[in-house]
Amino acid sequence: MEGLKFICNEPALTYGDMLVVADLHLGVERSIFGGAVELDFFSRARERLLRLIYESGCEGLALLGDVKHDIPNMPFPDRERLSKFLKELDDRVHLSVVVGNHDGGIRELAGGIEVHGAAGMTVGNVSFSHGHAWPSERMMGADWLVLAHNHPCIEFRDRLGYRSIEKVWIVGEIDARKVRRRYKSFNKGMRIVVMPAFSELVGGMVFNSVKGRELLGPFFRNEMFKLDDAETFLLNGINLGRLKDIKQR
């Protein structure tokens, strides 16, 4: 994929010497378990990321939105943990953050760390955006657009009715005719990657049972992505084929 590489068995990719993950939703455990269970997913996420940085040899790390979970603010202890989390990562590699819809106030928590607005950022021939807001027109000139936000999953169901849900990558093409309604200038051959969530606790959108307009973000609500023809990949690299071929009837 022209420099974009999925990391096997992880919801993470590399582009050049940059590791990219999305939807950490740090602090979500508090909204799920309350104060009854003490879980430190900040440390767990940090160790996972440091391991991936070491194994990939990357010198940069991009967090593609929804770094934190609580909107608009976090409880004070989690704010302290998040500031420390970001600083420790930035001490190891060059850290950049793209603001997601859960990331209100993250600029203050990030201190002097590089933070990009909701439109996203472009590196080389790839644009990166969380997916809850429109990318800028400049970003639409790239060859690839990497989005997050929907936490894509696929549901498997056997003949006895047993079900399992797995995180997946979604890779496909834009619908140039519909994109033209929004953008005067864009790359008609642009392809899109939808990233699975890095968080171990958040749910996801089941792409083989929802309709495009039910998905989150302007690209999906305006049907600018050729969803039915998109390919789906499990985290272990298995290609499940086109989405229309695994749709639940």
pLDDT value at residue 22: 97
Half-sphere exposure of 18 (CA within 13 A, CB side): 18
pLDDT value at residue 32: 58
pLDDT value at residue 33: 59
d(CA 29, CA 169): 24
Would you kindly state where each structural domain of the chain is located, as residue ranges? 4-245
pLDDT 10s digits, 9-26: 999 999 999 999 999 999
pLDDT value at residue 68: 85
37, pLDDT greater than 90: no
190, pLDDT greater than 80: yes
Mean pLDDT of the chain, nearest integer: 90
CATH architecture of the domain with residue range 4-245: 4-Layer Sandwich (3.60)
pLDDT 10s digits, 198-245: 998 888 999 988 877 789 999 999 999 999 999 999 999 999 999 999
pTM above 0.95, yes or no: no
Cα–Cα distances (Å) from 125 to 2, 15, 79, 137, in that order, read 9, 10, 34, 14
